[in-house]
Chains A and B, each alone.
Chain A
Amino acid sequence: MKRIRVTGDSIISPLGTGSEENFLAVLGGKTALSRHEGTFGLPEPFFASLFGEEVSRDESLLVRCASDAMERAGIDPSAADVMFFFSSVKGDVDRLLYEPAENVRKHFGNPNPAVTVSNACTSGVCALVQAMRALRAGKCSKAVVVGYEFLSKFIISGFQSFKALSPEACRPFDRDRVGLNLGEAVAAMVLEAVDATTENDWELVRGAIRNDANHISGPSRTGEGSYNCLRGVLSSGIAPEEIAFLNVHGTATPYNDEMESIAIDRAGLIGVPVNALKGYFGHTMGAAGILETILSMRAVDKGLVLGVRGFENLGVSRPVNISSAKRETGKKAFVKLLSGFGGINAALLCAKGGNSYLPEDPFEGSLELEAEARVDSSEGPLGDLYRALGDPYPKFFKMDPLSKLGYIAVERLLSKTGRSFELREDRAVILFSTKGCVCDDNNYKKTIEDSSEYFPSPALFVYTLPNIVGGEISIRNLYKGETSAYVVPERDEDMIMETVREAFSDPETASAIVGWVECASETDFTAQVKLIKRKF
């Protein structure tokens, strides 16, 4: 059984360069959150954590951050046993999402395909989980995981249209919290598969990704997916008393923090200290899972539970164990928890080495193909293909073209297998594309480009996230298993099937809808989806 050891890490954020500088800034109670007016040509002011003007928001920053982490780990990025994994929600909104990742991989002369995991705000943890699986499966022996997010008029106007932003520094879990602040950052971790770890090492033990199957933007009122994720990592055998803290999402929106308090309570973890770091960095989206994991490792090494900046009075329904001041701990493990648009949730258990917690076994069984379906733009427009299904689902017309395409493909697939609309926690939805949401990006941009016709549309914005199509499929079919969206430079069936096999290492996953879903425009699309089952 391979264990996953962390051998290097780095953070570049508006608070500092390098993990140490960022950690010291947080210890000193610093924040990079401030008010911005006129930035990015936005007509309305906003409160966020932004890089200074001297910083270029591009691959050079990803290269710098990854280089720092790899130097600490002492690895050669061009080696064939090294793989790169990236996480970002929107990448660079003027290019395809795989491009920055591909350029960084090429810069380092790495020969392996680089995937970008785009699972909304859980992307960072999901990329770590993906890397852990690849390492355990023996696909690589070292992995470099880079999470990043750069802010833009696109992203900020979208969150403004959602009325989700706080006009002042955010207040996680506080009764006066009114919303989140966005932040920019790049964070990287280097992982290695080893036979054993020692107590000086950090180990990524176990992760879980689950969908709420409830709503594409609102968190589940019962904390469904986050609860299921916590249950997933607790199956490692760790006891609540052994957990130093839960480093939760804590975006400071009224619904998110309440949802997390319910999930924590349901999982039997209400006594465990909780903290959140959004008051220092804002919500750094694709970087958050990695940045917050790195700082949590440092905190445990110093025997600390970091304080929650912005928190004063408990404002959730469950008695969460939370404090604005840092606290001492002698425990050697923590859980990172995240959730995001598309109903997605993710959790990761990290512990000092030499522990006896059970990691996921790599999947060594066999899989069988139960059915397959295709959709292609040569058959006609999406609306006609939907009507031909003969099963009204009014929400179809609210979807973006990519979600419509995924919806039609899965409807066709399930019509071949017979279907029941019973809740399923054991079915995953794993989708790949090269173009991500390019079609939706262009539609949303039209609502913000012209200053005299500036009316950012929340419905268009939410669909610019590549994982929403998986969320729509989960809502339609009540699938509460893993949902994952990957953006890759080219269609490579072998790579897709390897990734799917690795997903079956999650013991809860009994079957998966796996698909190539590519939508360039309303009239140029193709999809191929398969229902794949674990063979017993």
Chain B
Amino acid sequence: MEELINKLKLEIIDALNLDGMTPEEIEDEAPLFGEGLGLDSIDALELIVLMEKNYGIKLANPADGKKIFSSVKTMAEYIAANRSK
């Protein structure tokens, strides 16, 4: 899980153009939206693309993203349980 979390942080920084940010600066359990990283609705849609592209997970209902993307840790757990690549 540790390894997946670190890989995911790098992928998030890249996909969302979080310039100058390092994986160390993203806490595993800090909220991704609102407070924390301050991501917005377009970022949420990009995270859906990221999961499909890198892990073969298709999220039909974007509303499900809210729970999955609450932190890097919850996102990693969801990916570990549902990935097809």
Contact = CB atoms under 8 A, between A and B. Distances in A.
Nearest to B52: A455
Contacts of A162: 45
Given A161-B49, A163-B62, A459 B19 contact: no
User: In the complex, which range does the number of interface residues on chain B fall in?
Assistant: 10 to 19
B46 interface: yes
A161 B45 contact: yes
Given A163-B62, A215-B40, A459 B45 contact: yes
A536 interface: no
Contacts of B19: 394, 396-397
Contacts of A215: 40-41
A216 B48 CA distance: 19
Nearest to A455: B53
A279 to B, nearest CB: 23
A469 interface: no
Contacts of A396: 19
B62 A217 contact: no
Contacts of A163: 45, 48, 62
Nearest to B54: A455
A394 B18 contact: yes
A218 interface: yes
Contacts of B49: 161, 455-458
A398 B41 CA distance: 13
Contacts of B43: 459
Contacts of A217: 41-42
A267 to B, nearest CB: 26
Interface string A391-420: 000101110000000000000000000000
Interface string B28-46: 0000000000001111011
A289 to B, nearest CB: 25
Interface string A203-234: 00000000000011110000000000000000
Interface in A112-168: 161-163
A499 B46 CA distance: 37
B16 interface: yes
A27 B40 CA distance: 41
B17 interface: yes
A259 interface: no
A216 B43 CA distance: 12
B46 A459 contact: yes
A18 to B, nearest CB: 39
Nearest to B63: A163
B13 to A, nearest CB: 10
Contacts, number: 38
A462 interface: yes
A458 B53 CA distance: 14
B49 to A, nearest CB: 5
A215 B40 CA distance: 9
A256 B48 CA distance: 22
A442 B15 CA distance: 18
A161 B45 CA distance: 7
Contacts of B40: 215, 218
Nearest to B59: A163
Contacts of A457: 46, 49
Given A161-B49, A163-B62, A458 B18 contact: no
Contact of A459 (B18, B42, B53, B62): B42
Nearest to A216: B42
B83 to A, nearest CB: 16
Interface centre among A161, A216, A398, A456 (most CB of B within 10 A): A398
Nearest to A215: B40
A397 B46 contact: no
Interface string A444-462: 0000000000011111001
A159 to B, nearest CB: 11
A87 B45 CA distance: 28
Contacts of A161: 45, 49
B42 A462 contact: yes
A383 B49 CA distance: 25
A397 B17 contact: yes
Contacts of A216: 42
B45 A398 contact: no
B27 to A, nearest CB: 17
Contacts of B42: 216-217, 398, 458-459, 462
A394 B49 CA distance: 22
Contacts of B41: 215, 217-218
Contacts of A459: 16, 42-43, 45-46
B54 to A, nearest CB: 10
Nearest to A163: B62
A458 B45 contact: yes
Interface centre among B18, B41, B42 (most CB of A within 10 A): B42
Contacts of B52: 455
A43 to B, nearest CB: 11
Contacts of A397: 17-19
9 contacts: A215-B40, A216-B42, A217-B41, A394-B18, A457-B46, A458-B45, A459-B43, A459-B45, A462-B42
Given A397-B18, A459-B42, A459-B45, 11 more contacts: A163-B62, A215-B40, A217-B42, A394-B18, A394-B19, A397-B17, A456-B49, A457-B49, A458-B42, A459-B16, A462-B42
Nearest first, the 10 closest Cβ-Cβ pairs linking A and B are A397-B19, A458-B45, A397-B17, A163-B62, A455-B53, A398-B17, A459-B42, A459-B46, A455-B49, A218-B41
Interface of A: 161-163, 215-218, 394, 396-398, 455-459, 462
